[in-house]
Amino acid sequence: MSQTTLCPKFEKAMKLISQRWSGLIIYQLLFGPQRFCTIESSLPISGRLLSERLKDLEHEGIVKRDVYPETPVRIEYSLTDKGKALETVIGGIEKWSQEWVTLEG
C-alpha cells in the first residue's frame, strides 16, 4: 500500500475548522455580526474558551473584531471575506448532517 501525504494547507485548514467550537462559532457568525454575549448564549461554551477561540479565528483572519466608541463600549464580531468563504463548506456539512447524522435518544 502506498503512503500518501496530506497537503499542508489542507491539513492546516482541517485543524483550524475542527478545533473545538471553531466551526460552530463560524456557523453562528454566518447569521451576521454579533456581540460576545449573543455568541456565548447561543453555544454551550465558557466565556474564557469563547474568547480564546475568537482570538484564534481573528489571528487567522477569519473573524474581525469591531470596537465602537460608545458608552458603554460596544464590540461586535463578524466574519471577514476569508471567513464568509467558509459558508459553502459549513453549509455542506449542515446539509450532510441533516441527511446522514442521527441523534441517539
Specify burial of residue 76 (Cβ count, 10 A radius: 0-12, 13-18, 19+).
middle
For the ranges 2-6, 65-69, 71-75, which has the lowest average pLDDT?
A: 2-6
Indicate if the pLDDT at residue 86 is higher than 80. yes
Q: Which residues pair with 65 in a beta bridge?
A: 77
Residues 6+ apart with CB under 8 A from 78: 29, 32, 33, 34, 63, 64, 66
Nearest-5° angle of CA 104, CA 98, CA 33?
Answer: 110
**What is the rounded average pLDDT for all residues in the chain?**
94
Task: Please state the pTM of the whole predicted model.
Answer: 0.88
Per-residue pLDDT for 81 more than 70?
A: yes
State the Cα torsion 58-60-62-64 to the nearest 10°. Answer: 30
pLDDT at residue 1, rounded to an integer: 54
Mean pLDDT of 21-35: 97
Going along the chain from its start, the domains and CATH numbers come out as 32-94 (1.10.10.10)
Model confidence band, residue 74 (pLDDT cutoffs 50, 70, 90) = very high
